[in-house]
Amino acid sequence: MSSPATVMTIDGLMPLTDLEIYDLVKYEDNARTVVTVYRDKTGKIVKKDAWACILRPLPFTVEGGQIG
Amino acid sequence: MANTQAICTSFKNEVLLGGHQFGAITIVSRTSLTAPTTDTFKAALYLATATLGAATTAYSSTNEITGTGYTAGGVTVTNATAPTTSGTTAFWTPSASFSWVGLTQATAFDTVLVYNSTQSNRAVGVYTFGSQTVSAATFTLTMPTNAAGTALIQLN
């Protein structure tokens, strides 16, 4: 019988089956962020991953001046 | 057929490649003037209370995050794809996401500074995202598509 999959948390390795896991997705001005929250059975956050996808690049315009 | 005043697209690309020098700048040698090496760029994370922006000239550890699993100075940017052009836009994007593993940062952070660690840590760009705290985390900054209109750095 295989043991349940585990994940490293601030309290060490914990079985995924002992955790409540959910994602929070936010759209900001410059980025979309996805946060995965892991809570133990007491509701304490024991792990929180985040991904931020940069949506808005930094363009800068190169202008040519007028002669005369 | 009329002429059209414009900054040449090839010049924009060559600016990103360091191919033009209009004034004297103190640089760290790129080994050879005729076959220069590519600089190393890095990405560092900053607290939401920092004040980075257009006036930022170089990397500083002031207000850089200090959480567990984070090394001052940040991570090296993967730069496998040279700047290129499409239409009249020259652009460049790191060729891999920035990622930190095993990161715990209790104080909110919302900014990454891309800077040139070869050239005296000169600043390249400041990018903000939603304020974050993370615990025992994988934190990943996903790069946009490397194309005109979406690339991380664009000269239009």
Reported confidence tier of residue A58, pLDDT bands at 50, 70, 90? low
CB contact under 8 A, A54 and B143: yes
**pTM of the model as a whole:** 0.88
ipTM of this predicted structure: 0.80
Judged against a pLDDT cut of 90, whether residue A60 lies above it is answered with no
Q: Are A38 and A48 in contact (CB under 8 A)?
A: yes
Instruction: Give Cβ neighbours of residue B121 (< 8 Å, ≥ 6 apart).
Output: B42, B58, B59, B115
d(CA B22, CA A67): 19
pLDDT single digits (tens) B105-119: 999 999 999 999 999
d(CA A60, CA A57): 10
pLDDT single digits (tens) B23-74: 888 888 888 888 888 999 999 999 999 999 889 999 999 999 999 999 999 9
Those of residues 4-63 in A touching chain B at CB distance below 8 A are: 8-10, 26, 28-31, 33, 35, 45-55, 57-63
Q: For residue A62, what pLDDT is reported?
A: 66
Instruction: Give Cβ neighbours of residue B97 (< 8 Å, ≥ 6 apart).
Output: B140, B141, B142, B143
Reported confidence tier of residue A29, pLDDT bands at 50, 70, 90? confident
Contacts of A33 in chain B (CB under 8 A): 129-130, 132
Better-scored residue on pLDDT, B17 or A44: A44
Average pLDDT over residues A40-67: 82
**Percent share of chain B, pLDDT over 90:** 62
